[in-house]
Amino acid sequence: MRPKQHYIFLLLLPFLLLSLWGCAATDSTSNLYPARTASATAAETDEDAPDTASEFPADEATVPEPELTAAEEIKELETLGSWEAGKPYTIEEEVSYDYPVTMNRQVEFYLDFFQNKYRDIFTRWLERSTRYLPMIKEELREAGLPEDLAYLPMIESGYSLTAFSTAKAVGPWQFMTPTAKDYSLEINSYVDERRDPEKSTKAAVAYLSDLYDMFGDWHLTVAAYNAGCGKISRGLKAYNKDDFWELAREEYLNGETKRYVPKLIAAIIIAKNPEKYGFTGINYQPPLAYETIEVPAWTSLRAVEVACNADLEELRNLNRSLPQLVTPPDQENYPLKVPVGKKELVAKNLPRVKETVTTDFKTHVVGEKETLTKICKLYDVNKTTLLKTNNLRKSSLSPGMRLRIPYQVSEYILTDKDIPAQARGNIDNRMVQHKVQPGETLSLIAKRYNVSIDLIVSWNKLSDIHHINVGQQLAIYDTDAKGAATVVTASRPETATTTAAKKEATKSAKAPSQPTFYKVQDGDTLWKIARRFDLDPGQLKQWNKLRSNVILPGTLLKVADPDTIGPLSMRDGKKSAL
C-alpha cells in the first residue's frame, strides 16, 4: 500500500505547488484598498455592517445615478476604437484647472453624453453640487490636493448621500466597508458614516492623498480610487507602463475603470463653465448649513421633528448617517444636526415629547397551501404572537380563514405637564412587537419594557433565555394596566409598599448586579417620588439629568446612587424597535 500512497502524493504535488504559487503572487496591497467595482463584491463581506439595501429599513437607499447607464457607456466607448493619449486641453481664459485636464476621443464622448443623452441627470448633479462643494473644496485645499477633485463625488454618486451600489459601495464618495473602516468611518446597524458628507469627505481626502503618494500621478490616483491600488500597481508592473492612457490601451483594466478618468475630466470641464455647454437656469442648492445639539441615546428623528416643528425630510438629509432614524443606543450624548434656528426649540421641547406605541391589525385571508410559517415570514411576525392574536392553539390553517395580523404604530406628541397621558386601550392595543437589535439581551429588553424576563420567556415560548437572534420578533404585553407604583430591578418587578420597604429596596440596589429604577405613574410629581424613596428632589434631577421638574408617565427614573447602577439615558419606558 505504501507505494500507491507515494504515487498519489507525486500526482497531487504539482497542483499543491501551483496553488501555493498563486497565493504568493497575490499583491498584498490589494487587501488594504479593495476595488470598488462590481467585481469586488465578494471580497467586501462584513458581518457587522449593512450589506444590502434592505438593511436600511427606515431610511432610503438608492442606486447611484452614475451606475444606471454604466453598461451603455462602456459599450459605446468600445465603438470609438483604441484608447489614445490625452492631449493638452486649451484652457478658456475665464476658467482654470488644478487637475490635469486633457482631451481625446473618450473625453469628447462624455462631453457629448452629458450635454445630450444625460442632460437631465447632469443638471440634477449641478443643482446638488453647490450644497457640498464649498465644504469639499475647503478640505482638499487644507490637504494640499487639487480642488477640482471636489467633482469626483459627481461621477461617483451624483452627490447623493443615500447612494448604495451593486458592489455595496455607500454614500457620496462610494466607500466600500473595509476601506471606510481603514479611514476611521464608523459602520454598524445604527450609524453609517459613509453617508455623512463631512466625515466621508475627510476620509476620501485622506485616501486620495495616500494614493497620490503611491503613484505620483493624478490620473492613476483616480483610477486606483475606482479599481483599487493593487489592481493599478500590478498593471503598471505587468505592462511596464507609467501612464493611465497607455495602460488603458491594454486588455487589462475593465471598462468601468477605463471610463472613470475621462468621465471625471468631462464633468470638471462642464461643471466649471456650465453656460458654455448649454446648462443655464440651474436651480443651485444653498451650501450645507445646520446647528448641532447633543441628544440622548435612542432619540428618534421623528421626536425631534415634533420638538422643533421641522420637516422630517430635512432632518433626515442632515443626519443620513443614522439609517434607523434613531441615535445609537450606546452613545449617551449624540451630536445631532438640526436646521439653523431650531437648536433652542429642540433643547426646550425634546424632554416634553412623548412616544405612544400601539398595535393595530390588518386582515390576511389564508390562501391555498399557505402555512403559518409562510404568513409569519410575509409579515415579519413570530408564530407565538400570531397564534395568540387569533386565539389559535395549533398551527394548522384552512384556506379562506381570516387572520388578524398585528403591526406596531408609533406616534410622537408634544405634551404639557398639565395634560394627562392618553388613556390606555384594551389588552390587544397594549401588545408591542419588539424586533431584537444587535447587542440586545433579554435582560436589557425586560428593563426597557418594565417587565420580567420570565414573562417575556412565557409570552414567546423561548427555550433558551441566554440566546435570542437579531431580527427576532418578541411580543411584549403591558402588565401595569392598573397604574400601580412599581420598582423595577434587574431581575423582576416588585410592588412598592411601605416607606421602609422602599428604603430597603434602594439599599439592596447598591449591589452592582441589582440596579433599581422607578417607573413614573399618572399623577406622579418629582417631589412625590423623592418623598416616597426618602430622597431629595435635587438628587433625582441630578441622577437623571432632568432639565426641569416635568416628568412623563412611563419614564424610568434612577432611585439609587448612579455610581452604583451606572448610566441610564432618559427615555420612555416603552421604546419601540425602529
* 156 is an active site residue: yes
Q: Could you give the C-alpha distances from 152 to 2, 134, 141, 174, 227, in angstroms and in order?
A: 64, 14, 15, 10, 14
The CA-based angle 47-50-52, given to 5 degrees, is 115
Residue 459's contacts (CB-CB under 8 Å, 6 or more residues apart) are 384, 388, 474, 475, 476, 477
DSSP string of 411-454, one letter each residue: EEEE--TTSPPPPP--SGGGEEEEEPPTT--HHHHHHHHT--HH
Q: Alpha-carbon distance 297 to 40, whole Å?
A: 35
Residue 164's contacts (CB-CB under 8 Å, 6 or more residues apart) are 53, 56, 61, 62, 63, 64, 170
The bridge status of strand 486-489 relative to strand 516-519 is antiparallel
Residue with cell 418587578: 493
Which one of the listed residues 65, 67, 73, 156 is annotated catalytic?
A: 156
Q: Alpha-carbon distance 110 to 379, whole Å?
A: 46
Residue with cell 452614475: 66
Helix (H) / strand (E) element for 88: namely: strand 87-88
Q: Alpha-carbon distance 251 to 253, whole Å?
A: 6
Measured in whole angstroms, the distance separating CA 505 from the mean position of its chain's CA atoms is 41
Of 31, 568, 75, 63, nearest in space to 332 by CA:
568
Q: Alpha-carbon distance 543 to 548, whole Å?
A: 13
CB atoms within 10 A of CB 331: 16
> What phi and psi, each to the nearest 5 degrees, are found at residue 493?
-75, 150
Of 411, 396, 422, nearest in space to 554 by CA:
422
Residue 132 amino acid letter: Y
End-to-end CA distance of the chain: 65
The bridge status of strand 87-88 relative to strand 102-103 is antiparallel
Measured in whole angstroms, the distance separating CA 234 from the mean position of its chain's CA atoms is 34
Catalytic residues: 156
